[in-house]
């Protein structure tokens, strides 16, 4: 009896497989696959548009960030130059004061 059950299972599997193939290759199924494929393609187009927008925005952000860093470097350099000038002026003032003190001491 177990041999007959095996044949029956194989027969049912064959019938189910045949019906599945017929169902998958039917006109309605093809229409469904076509609509799904079209929806996937539209989704892909939208993703590419979003990607392009994001890429452009990232480029703008990078450009702005570079400009900010350049301005910051220029400001730091300007401060360094001002500080150096202040040190030079202070050193010149001290040099003049020392020279005056020496000339007064030599004149006295």
Measure the N-to-C terminal CA separation of the chain; round to a whole number of Å. 140
For residues 35 and 37, what is the distance between their CA atoms, to the nearest angstrom?
A: 5
DSSP for residue 26: S
Please tell me the predicted confidence (pLDDT) of residue 53: 94
Whether the full predicted model's pTM is greater than 0.85, yes or no, is no
CA dihedral of residues 52, 58, 61, 66 (deg, nearest 10): -120
Query: Which of 64, 63, 82 shows the shortest CA–CA distance to 74?
Result: 82
Give tens-digit pLDDT for 45-61: 899 999 999 999 999 99
| Contact yes or no for 29/23 (Cβ under 8 A) | yes
For residues 85 and 95, what is the distance between their CA atoms, to the nearest angstrom?
A: 15
Please tell me the predicted confidence (pLDDT) of residue 80: 96
């Amino acid at each position: 009896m177990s041999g007959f059950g095996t044949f029956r299972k194989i027969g049912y599997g064959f019938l189910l497989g045949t019906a599945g193939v017929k169902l998958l290759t039917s006109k309605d199924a093809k229409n469904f696959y076509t609509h799904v494929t079209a929806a996937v393609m539209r989704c892909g187009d939208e993703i590419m548009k979003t990607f392009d927008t994001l890429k452009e925005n990232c480029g703008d952000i990078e450009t702005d960030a570079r400009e900010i860093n350049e301005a910051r470097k220029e400001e730091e350099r300007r401060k360094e130059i001002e500080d150096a000038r202040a040190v030079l002026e202070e050193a010149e003032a001290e040099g003049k004061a020392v020279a005056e003190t020496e000339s007064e001491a030599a004149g006295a």
